[in-house]
Every structure is written in C-alpha cells, then in structure tokens.
Structure 1
Amino acid sequence: MESTTEKNNFKRSLGLLDATMIVAGSMIGSGIFIVSADIVRNVGSACALLLIWLFTGFLTIAAALSYGELSSMFPKAGGQYVYLKEAFNSLTGFLYGWSFFAVIQTGSIAAVGVAFSKFAAYVFPSLSEKNIIIDFSFLQISAAQLTSIILVVFLTYVNTRGVKEGKMIQTIFTLVKLIALFGLIIFGFSLAAKADIWKANWSTGFSINKLDGNTLVPYSGFAVMGALAASLVGSLFSSDSWNNVTFIAGEIKNPSKNIGRSLFLGTLIVTIIYIATNMMYLSVLSINEIAYAENDRVGVVASQHIFGNSGTYIIAILLMISTFGCNNGLILSGARVYHTMAKDGLFFKQLGHLNKNGVPEKALWIQCIWASALCLSGKYNELLEYVIFVVLIFYILTIAGIFRLRKTKPDLERPYKAIGYPFLPFIYIIAAVTICIMLLIYKYNSSIPGLAIVLLGIPIYYYFVSKDKS
C-alpha cells in the first residue's frame, strides 16, 4: 500500500496526453539523428538498417505492453524499482535503483545535456566544446560542458517548483518535437527524395557486410553477430527511457489504466517516427553519405540536402528542442525512484521527503549534482556504453517478474493484463538474453564494467540495510 504521506502529497495532475508525452519525449533525444551512421557502417545495406530499427521497435513495444500489467498492479511512484522488489526481493530492486542512479539515468541526463550544447554550438559558436573556459592542470572545462550543466540545473529547478511546471515543459516541447520531426520527414520525401538514390541503396538487398569506404567486406564466421550487437546498442539506446513514465505513477490520474495506455501509445508513435526517418534518410542520402556523415550527424546532412545551407541551423534548432524536452522528462521522472528507495530505507533518508510543491526536491538535486559531475568528467560516453547491457539485464528480470508474480501472487488485482502473454513477454526475454550474450562476447569492454557497476551495489545495499536497522 502507498504510505499516507505519499497519498497526501503526491498530486495526481498528469493525464493520458501528459503521460504519453513523457514516454515519447524521454525516448526521442539526439540518437535518431546520429546512430544510423554507425549502424550502416556495421551492416552495409538499407534493408539491414531498417531491420535493425524494426527489431528494436518490436522489442520496445513488446516490453512496454508487458510493463502495462506491472504498472496496473503497482500504480505508485518508483516504477521498475517497485516491480523488481515486489517480484523478487528488495536487493534486486535496490540493484536496479543503484544502477539507475550511478549510470542509467544520470549518465543519460549528462549525455543528452552535452548533445544539447553541441547542437547549440551550431547556432551559437561560442558554446563549442573547443572553447575552453576554465583550464586546470588536471581538468579542462569547455563552454559546451558549462552549457550542459546550466541546462540540467535549470530543468532541475523548474521541476522543484511542482509537477505541473515540469508537465507543461514536457508536453509543449514533445508536441513541438513530434510536429517538427513529422515535418522533416514530409519535407525530406517531398523536396529532396531521389529515385536513383533510393534504388541504389536497395541494390544490396538483405546482405549484411562491413562498409569500408566504398567497399562491402563480407563478415567471416560469427563476426556478423558482433556487427549486429554493435548496431543494436545504438538503436536500443535511442529507444530507451520509455519506462520513465512508470516512475511517476503517483502523479498520474487513473494510473492503473493510463500508464499502460501511455506506454503503448508513446512507444508506437516513436517507433513509427524512427522507421519513417530512416526511410527518409535512404531516399535522400546514399549509403556512403549516411555511413560517413561528419561526426555521424546524419540528420544534419539530410537537412542540408532538404533545406540547403539553412538546413544546418534548422536541424540544430530541432535537436535543441528535442534534447531539451528529452532531458526534462529524464529529470522529472528519475528523482521519483530515489525518493521511493529512501522511503524504503534503501537510500539517503532525506531524499524521502517531498517539498511544499509535492515533489522530491532533494532527490532532484542529488540527481542534478551527479549528472553535472558526469558532464564535467567527460566519462558520460563511456558510461553510456555500459547502459544498454545493464538496462537489458533489468528489463529481462522485470518482464520475468510478470511470470513470477502470476504464480506467487495470482489473486493480486490486475486491471490490465500483458497483451500477448505468455508469448510476447517470452519472446522479449529470449531476444534480450541473446543480445546480452552477444554484447558479453563482442562488446565485453563495456559489458563487463557495466556488470561491475551493478555488483558494486551489493555492499552498498547492506550498508543501507544495516543503517536503517540501527
């Protein structure tokens, strides 16, 4: 049951549209404008590029449909942390919450903040990462890093003012972002699409090869599995954070129904946009132009083809809007996890309090401080390589929790049941386990450290347990 404090202070002021905008807005950052370049270099064909995005979309929607059942059973703040704790035990829930704080959410906030500043530098060159503002002997701080920190601090402050303020930013910026993305897709097809480019891009059929310059190099043996694993890291990260809406269940109207609906609608909308955007790329740019776009910024190159010289500024402004809204969603929702952990005695107790506006202000600020430190460290890109492996582990466990809860708590009320159960959840688990194995084999440099971050949470868990008992 929810505590009395939570019932009295969390304000249920988010409707279905707001919840859907949190799902979509948290998913769409800068990834869709960048990661297709790396995918094409790994797979070498238009068909394989679209299959990677289709497979990613299928996995994301399948997981979202499964989470709907869990959100209807436990419609309270904390989301995935609560699901894992209820399905397994408090240690499993804590390991997720710890990983969420250490790398998943804060690393994502840092990376999206830095992406905002990089694209802002197109419009305001003085904000470039090459413009060093402070130079210590051991640390250089660029204008881009300062800009990203200012963004994180500003959005954190706005969200301490109350959920309505965060909701307003999220809904407005996500709607603008979606309209602009649909506009970019439509303009791309209508103004810059070329039949000869489209035909040439599809000439390689369903083959999967490494693109080396203008040459397609066949993979030998199981190397193709490594290429697929590397490709999926980018697309999965670009489609992640859809579960953020579950963390703010305490502030959603009719959460037992609206969370499940928003998960499905949000992930479906984003999947359609991602597929359409990549089809637009393939109609406007050659395979080589996609693969070797400067700094992997495929969206910038496509926009230049569509709008000419002004295209750089158009896409930069779109990306600023996109990353601004994305970071607001991450910041708004993430702090609710630390708040719930603190209420359970598994994190710093001060984070368990709500301010006069009914939001976990101290949890918001500790998240802000660590995300800002990651911005300064320059290690956020490395951390993000660890994210997907860690995220998939907890997605697997959470969806496996549906099967476990059906057996251990069959009488618990389920206003919404997972669509396609048991087949869709089972398919997701098998697919995600396969990807994890591929990542362990072919991306062990990031997978092993990611696993180490999770395991580091075990002694920290027992520290908080002993502190709570004393």
Structure 2
Amino acid sequence: MREDKARNRKGTKNGNVVKNPETHSHQSGDEVKATALQKDVGLISGICLIVGTMIGSGIFISPKSVLLNTGAVGPCLCVWAASGVLATLGALCYAELGTMITKSGGEYPYLMEAFGPIPAFLYSWTSVVVLKPSSFAIIALSFAEYSAAPFYPGCSPPTIIIKCLAAASILLIVTVNSISVKLASYVQNFFTAAKLIIIFVIIGAGIVLLAQGNTQHFSNAFESKTSFGAIGLAFYNGLWAYDGWNQLNFITEELKNPCRNLPLAIIIGIPLVTVCYILVNIAYFTVMSPTELLQSQAVAVTFGDRVLYPVSWIVPLFVVFSTFGAANGTCFTAGRLIYVAGREGHMIKILSYISVRRFTPSPAIIFNAIAPTDPAFKSQGILSIIYIIPADINTLINYFSFAGWGFYGVTVLALIVMRFTRKDLERPVKVPIFIPVIVVVLSFYLLLAPIIDKPEWEYLYCTAFILSGLVVYLLFVHLKFSWTRKVMGPITMHLQMLMEVVPTEEQQ
C-alpha cells in the first residue's frame, strides 16, 4: 500500500491524478479527475435534494399523529406552520455553519470544531447506528405499505410482504448511490418532480373543494384541550415530515459554489415545502372530518378515493415515488457522514476511501464492517434492514425525534459558541444571533416536554445508548489498542483491492 500511495503522489500534476493503467484504465485522455469527491451538485439538484428528502413519507403518515396530539384542526395547522418556521430557522443557522466550515458530514465537523472530538463522536455514533438507519427504515416501510396497498384491496397487506418490499427498496437505493453521484442526483431530481405532481394535485383538489363551500370541518377549529407534552409529541411528528432541511450540509464538499448555493437552496426549498404541507393538510380537512382522518389507514389514499375516483390509483403510485425519492436522498447524505467520520479516525479507515472509478464513498454506503476498531459502525443499508424487522413507525419517529433534536440543539449551540471562540473564521452567511438562540430554546423544549409530561423508559434507554458511546470512544478511538491496527491493516488492504477504493488525495 505504501508503494501504491507513492505512485499516486508521483502521478499528480496540477491537482489531477495522471492516468494509471492499473486503476484508471476506464478514463480517456492523459489526465483524470483527482481521487476526491467531485462537485457535481448544483443549485437545482440542491433544491431537489432538500425538497425531495423533506417531502417523503411524513406528509402522508404524520397528519394523524399531529391531529391526535393537538385535538383539533386549528392547533394541528398551527403545528404544521410552526414546524416549517422552526425548520427554516434551523436551516439558516446551518447555512452559516456550512459556509463557515465547508466540510461534508452535517453536524459532525461543526461539533468537532466547537466542542472537540468527544461530542462529534457521540453524534456520529448515534447518527450512524440509530438516526440515519431508523429514518431510512421509516421511509422504506412507508414506501412498502403504499406499494403493496393496490394488490390487497379492502384489507391490509401482510406484514412479511411489507418488510420484504422495504428491504428490497433499501438494497436498490444503496446500489444506485454506490454507482454514481450523478445517477443518484438524476434519480433524486426525477422523483422530486414526481412527488411535487401529487402534492399539487392534492392542493388543487383542495382549493376546488374550498371554493365549492366545503368548510364545515374548519368551524370551531380551536376547541380542544391538550397538554404541554402532547404538543411536544405533535411537533415530533410534524418535524419528522420536515426532516431533511439539513441535508445539504452533509454534502458540502460536493456542492458547487456552496457559499451561494447552500443558503439559496434553503431559502427556496424549505418555505416551498412549508406552504405545500399547510395546503395539503387543509385539503385533507375539506374531505375528512377530524374523526374520519384519525380512522383512515392511509390519509392520502382516502383523499384520493373520495375526490379523484376513477383515477384515484394515481395517489398511491405517486406516494410510492415520493417515499422512494426521500429514501434515496437519505441514503445519499448518510454515506457522507460515515465517510467524514472515518476520515477523522472515528471509524475504520476503509470507510473514508472512495471509488477510483465512480468517485463515490461506496465503502461508507455499502460496507458492513464489524471491526475491532469500532464494532458498532455498520453499513447504512444493513442497519436499516435490521430496523424494519420489529418496526412500529410511530415508535421509530418518536425515538428518532428525541435524539435528533437533541443534537440539532447542540449543533446550533455550537454556532453561538463559535461566535465568541472562533471570531477568525470567515462567515459568508451570518444570521442574527436571536435566530440560533430561538432554535436552541425550542430544541430543548422538544427534548424535555414529552419527558416531563409523560416519562417513559424509552427516553432513558435512548439517553443511555448515546452516553454508551463514551465507552466505545475510550476503548477504540482514544486508547487505540495496538492489536486492532495489526488486525485491521491486512483486512483494509484486501478490501481496498477488492472494492477498488483509495484514500482521497488529502489523506495520502
């Protein structure tokens, strides 16, 4: 491997790697791209990634839970609007972080810069093992439910069918993202366009029904009683539908002109999704009473059956497109977190390598590594498949939201801290200080409200799991047992040759 690295160093010229017949025979010409992630994601693809990841399963499965926890139409719509505002404020804070620290990996490099390696490791530990796979699993299960529904009219599809379809979709998406960044971007753009079609169809139908006077379900819209913690749970489900607002921060190194395109994609993408979500929920209530909506097995399908018959079949078809696109976006960004953490030494090194043929972090996407240096970090796809086996979607959403918004709050707190500790950093985008303060306060409200109102063991288990990462960090990162290096060295070498992957030029 030392000889390979030496050849790579000698073969560089003006920042490019000179053609190597052993590893670059697929390229034409005297020069090829440098062995690094390529800046292939433009503004349109960035907007599509945000919109395509946010509009997934949430708007089709969360309305019931939001309504259940708010108790009436008025507070329900307020939660949807407030969730969009909170997501926008959080994304603006992330825009400052992303243009100040132009590294991929989402929250990971920001926590590393502000608080050091331990909080960054705890985030990567929690995200790779819980947050990203559970998110992927929720979306895949939603995809499978809507895919199977037309084949089982009048009854629910068998559980085994749903879980097999979910597993198959995960494997397909992982394959696409391992082959090419551009292919994954094309897939994302196509399915984003498809999901916007069904959103606009639902919104258009709702506007027509409102114009015809179907407003009876909006009378006495605020007559409800709810609790402090129930509002927090309503936000959990509403914010789950908005999850994805931070996705561009995971691929900053692959974004063209990030100082311009990152904030611009946020400003365009998230308000667009917020308006769509509010209008879609209004459309639902023009057709269904609150009681009927809570009793519906699939809210969008019920809406289609009542409004779009005899072409109501387009609703489950386009919901399938929507969830598949969201799953693709989740997979696309999750691999970059694993890649960056591996580059920092918080995971096995092979996960920080990229394909010499496709310039994708394919090991981070597909590699199922149970390695002595870090036994917990497995592939995004494999863990997601594990999560769908015992899956209950609402439980997964609450588990995801509790851990996720804890780290979102700490990350925005890092922005405030670095305003004082890292004044030397250039900030192409700088938000007013009250915005991160509001996001931090609301994040910790979301973290504490459900626990205070209705304590459950699951929250304690989640907290204990996050803190258990301290033991893993001490044993396998801080102490770095010598025997792990002896074992992993030969394994890494053989896997590198098998998968045709190399360190990026900055690692060599």
What is the TM-score normalised by the length of structure 1? 0.88
Larger relative helix fraction:
1
Q: Which runs of 5+ in 1 are unaligned?
A: 133-141, 210-218
Q: Are the counterparts in 1 of residues 138 and 396 from structure 2 also a CA contact under 8 Å? A: no
Code of the aligned partner of 2:109:
V
Q: Which residue of 1 aligns with 2:67?
A: 40
Q: 1:8 to 1:76 in 2, by over 3 A?
A: farther
Match of 2:388 in 1: 375
> Taking structure 1 as reference, are residues 29 and 256 closer, same or farther at Cα in structure 2, changes over 3 Å only?
same
| CA–CA separation in structure 2 for the residues paired with 1:194 and 1:256 | 43
- The equivalent of 2:274 in structure 1 is 271
Equivalent residue number for residue 201 of structure 1 = 217
For residue 380 of structure 1, report the CA deviation from its aligned partner. Answer: 6.3
Map Cα deviations across residues 296-347 of structure 1 (whole Å, 9 max, x no partner): x221211122112542x22211110001000000001101101111111101
- CA pair 463-385 structure 1, distance change in 2 beyond 3 A: same
The SS at the match of 2:359 is coil
Report the CA distance between 1:468 and its aligned residue: 4.3
How far apart, CA to CA, are the structure 1 residues paired with 2:363 and 2:141? 23
Distance 2:152 2:288 in 1: 27
1:461 and 2:473 are equivalent in the alignment: yes
1:158 is paired with a residue of what secondary structure? helix
1:138 is matched with none
Relative distance call for 1:129 and 1:148 in structure 2 (3 A) is farther
Q: Cα 1:97–1:408, aligned 2, differ >3 Å: closer, same or farther?
A: same
Superposed CA offset, 1:416-468 (max 9, x none) = 112xx111211121122222211222353232222222112111122331364
Contact 1:197/1:286, CA 8 A, preserved across alignment: no
Structure showing greater radius of gyration is 2
In structure 2, the CA distance between the partners of 1:415 and 1:343, relative to structure 1 (3 Å rule), is: same
1:109 counterpart letter in structure 2: F
* Gap change, CA 1:85 and 1:380, over 3 Å in 2: farther
RMSD: 2.2
Shift of 1:91: 0.9
- Please give the alpha-carbon distance, in whole angstroms, between the structure 2 residues aligned to 1:278 and 1:381: 19
**Aligned 8 A contact 1:389 1:439 in 2:** no
What is the CA deviation profile of residues 72-131 of structure 1, one whole-angstrom value per residue up to 9, with x for unaligned ones? Answer: 0111221211111111111111111111111111101111111111101123349x9754
Distance in 1 separating the partners of 2:250 and 2:480: 23
Match of 1:302 in 2: 303
Q: Which amino acid aligns with 1:437?
A: L
1:343-382 aligned at under 5 Å gives the runs 343-356=343-356, 357-365=358-366, 366-378=379-391, 382=395
Matches within 5 A, 1:50-89: 50-89=77-116
Q: Which amino acid aligns with 1:451?
A: T
Is 1:241 aligned to residue 244 of structure 2?
yes
Give aligned-pair identity as a percent: 28
Task: Measure the CA separation in 1 of the matches of 2:295 and 2:231.
Answer: 19
Q: Which amino acid aligns with 1:414?
A: R
Offset, 1:206? 2.6
Secondary structure of 1:34 counterpart = helix
Structure 2 unaligned regions, length at least 5: 1-14, 18-32, 367-378, 483-508
Give secondary structure in 1 for the equivalent of 2:126: helix
Alignment pair present for 1:115 and 2:126: no
Q: 1:131 to 1:437 in 2, by over 3 A?
A: closer
2:331 corresponds to which residue? 331
Residue 293 of structure 2: which of 290, 293, 311 is its match?
290
Match of 1:396 in 2: 409
RCO comparison, higher one (Cα < 8 Å, 6+): 1
Aligned pairs, how many?
437
Pairwise CA distance, 1:148: 0.9
| Residue 156 (structure 1) aligns with | 174
1:389 CA drift (Å): 1.0
Query: Which of the residues 395, 398, 409 maps onto 1:385?
Result: 398
CA distance in 2 between counterparts of 1:370 and 1:397 reads 25
Q: CA deviation at 1:53?
A: 0.5
| SS of 1:386 mapped into structure 2 | helix
Kindly report which structure 2 residues correspond to 1:8-19, keeping only aligned pairs within 5 A, or say none: 8-19=35-46
* Worse-matched range after superposition: 244-253 or 41-50: 41-50
Task: Judge conservation of contact 1:62–1:425 (CA < 8 Å) in 2.
Answer: yes
- Partners of 2:221 and 2:188 lie apart in 1 by 40
Tell me the TM-score normalised to structure 2 length.
0.82
Q: Determine the structure 2 residue equivalent to 1:139.
A: none
CA contact (8 A) 2:83 2:242 kept: yes
Matches within 5 A, 1:123-162: 123-125=150-152, 130-131=157-158, 142-162=160-180
Partner in structure 1 of residue 191 of structure 2: 173
User: Match for 2:170: what amino acid?
Assistant: V
Q: Secondary structure at the match of 1:242?
A: coil
Aligned match of 1:439: 450
* Amino acid of the structure 2 residue aligned with 1:85: M
Secondary structure, aligned partner of 1:35: helix
